[in-house]
Amino acid sequence: MKKFVSLLLSLSLIFSLAACSQSEDSDTGSEQPPESNSLEVTDMQVPENFVLIKGGSFQMGSPDSEAWRSADETQHLVTVSDFYMSKYELTQKEYEEITGNNPSNFKGDDLPLENISWLDAVAYCNARSEKDGLTPVYTIDGQNVSWDRSANGYRLPTEAEWEYACRAGTTTPFYMENSPSAEDANYYSHYPYEIEDNYFSQGNLEVKPGEYRETTVPIDSFPENPYGLYNMHGNVSEWVWDYYGEYGVEEQTDPAGPVSGTLRVYRGGGWNDFAKNMRSAYRATLEQNKGSFNLGIRLVRNATPGTGSVSGIGSQITGGNGDGKILIAYFSWGGNTKGVAEEIKHQTGADLFEITLVNPYSSDYNTVLDEAQRDQNAQARPELTSHIDNMDEYDTVMIGYPNWWASIPMPIASFLEEYDFSGKTILPFCSHGGGRFGQSLTAITKLAPDATMGEALSIHYSGGSELSGDVTEWLNSNGIQ
């Protein structure tokens, strides 16, 4: 029997290396992982639908030349060990069989689980490990979670493992030769990669706009990547172990991120994301006790036992106690966000502040699209006309904006960087044309990491006749009368 298991593992290794070799033959800039040592078999057969990811070294992050990269994607050399990863995102059926509940927004047994918090994700890993007779990986104590690297149970991948598996030997923005089309991934494919610079003249685009499905799809949809993994770009984003923090520049082996923090990282992009936010290097963030309608998980297991443990000290962000004043600060171009802000003021009586620019954007729609993407790409900080002298008096700050190119307009970034939001509660509200929040919530959390973020509100254009009720429901969900 041992010889038979060894033969199967050897065949698996041959097929894995063959897939890498095929990737290297393309012009996607592949990186072949080095030969690794022989694989030690753990005490239980690998679960069905998991694949062996052979370890190796790669450049984690993105080069300065990559379009729409973020400043937190500094390239650095990373080596990861062998591990097993599920071919698929976790399904709702799998989650419900263990926990008895299903928090997902879109329902379906073969659809990916979503709307799950990071804390619920690690609790699920432990519960499934126990059910399958494995050693649970995590020790959970409220917000603090530690990881036993020697345990053989289910766990979340690290950031490094996730990116290594997604890239599958490539060094380009996506694992496929060109950027993903609507036939390659489930995303807001009206906005393929680099459309921001080619919105009105799309002849130079490698991939043209395609179908926007506005929902998740079954977990085995679309072709798998060279390592046999489905939907690493799109469908739902996927939680990873790491706290969010700046990368170091030194060479690392099996990194696990900072030992403490306020935000956890998730990767891959979801059904409502633009292609630029599905890049292999893109990092999204959220508090570990919150979930989202486009955020799920993909399980991994050790291929060989690790050593030591990793502490995870969660810094509980405490927002205002509700006794302070409320500020409604908003930026509006076409008037939709202004209308939402005025409805919130009508219902709350809170102070209203419009964020305006010394050099306003053009009133012409086509021109402002170019100006908005230009400022986002440059991460510009436009100068604001007026300022708040008494920000310390406000306990809660409601921040409103239009969804521009799947993120916040840069005047919002100028506003967030001007003040100290530590200890405050931020309640975002966003007007959009179909992409809901895009990655705007991640942008806000990165700029104000010491604030707590309450439930956010997305309004389709001006909200129409449902605006008043939607605002009331949102205020109630945040405990505001």
Of 286, 314, 342, which one is at a domain's C-terminal end?
A: 314
Whether residue 3 has pLDDT greater than 50: no
Domain identity same for 272 and 346: no
Whether residue 10 has pLDDT greater than 70: no
Domain identity same for 114 and 245: yes
Domain identity same for 251 and 159: yes
pLDDT of residue 359: 97
- In degrees, to the nearest 5, what angle opens at C-alpha 46 toward C-alphas 43 and 47? 130
Domain identity same for 178 and 139: yes
pLDDT of residue 323: 57
Locate 228 and state its tokens.
């046999």
> CATH number, domain at 29?
3.90.1580.10
Q: What is the mean pLDDT of residues 437-446?
A: 94
Write the pLDDT tens digit of every residue in 326-369.
Answer: 999 999 999 999 999 999 999 999 999 999 999 999 999 999 98
Whether residue 30 has pLDDT greater than 80: no
Residue type, 74: T
Give the full edge-to-edge strand order of the sheet including 138-141: 138-141, 144-148, 309-310
Classify residue 407: in a domain, yes or no.
yes
Whether residue 149 has pLDDT greater than 60: yes
Of 287, 314, 341, which one is at a domain's C-terminal end?
A: 314
pLDDT of residue 136: 98
Classify residue 320: in a domain, yes or no.
no
Domain identity same for 338 and 452: yes
Whether residue 261 has pLDDT greater than 80: yes
Domain identity same for 299 and 346: no
Of 254, 286, 314, which one is at a domain's C-terminal end?
A: 314
Instruction: Tell me how crowded residue 434 is: count the other CB atoms within 10 A of its CB.
Output: 13
Q: Identify the residue with better confidence: 44 or 252.
A: 252
Say how far apart CA 61 and CA 171 lie, in whole Å: 9
Whether residue 243 has pLDDT greater than 90: yes
Whether residue 34 has pLDDT greater than 60: no
Domain identity same for 338 and 385: yes
Q: What is the mean pLDDT of residues 374-378?
A: 90
Domain identity same for 32 and 88: yes
Locate 56 and state its tokens.
């190796």
Whether residue 69 has pLDDT greater than 50: yes
Provide the number of structural domains found in the chain: 2
Locate 427 and state its tokens.
């309640």
Mean pLDDT of the chain: 89
pLDDT of residue 45: 64
Classify residue 319: in a domain, yes or no.
no
pLDDT of residue 42: 42
Say how far apart CA 438 and CA 188 lie, in whole Å: 9
| 266, 157 contact by CB (below 8 A) | no
Q: Percent of the chain, pLDDT > 90? A: 82
Domain identity same for 364 and 460: yes
One-character DSSP codes across 425-476: EEEEEEEESSSTTTTHHHHHHHHSTTSEE---EEEETT-GGGHHHHHHHHHH
Domain identity same for 300 and 341: no
Q: What domain range is 41 assigned to?
A: 2-314
Write the pLDDT tens digit of every residue in 112-129.
Answer: 999 999 999 999 999 999
Q: What is the mean pLDDT of residues 149-177?
A: 97
| Sequence-ordered list of residues with C-beta below 8 angstroms from that of 264, at least 6 positions apart, any chain | 118, 239, 240, 241, 242, 243, 244, 285, 286, 287, 288
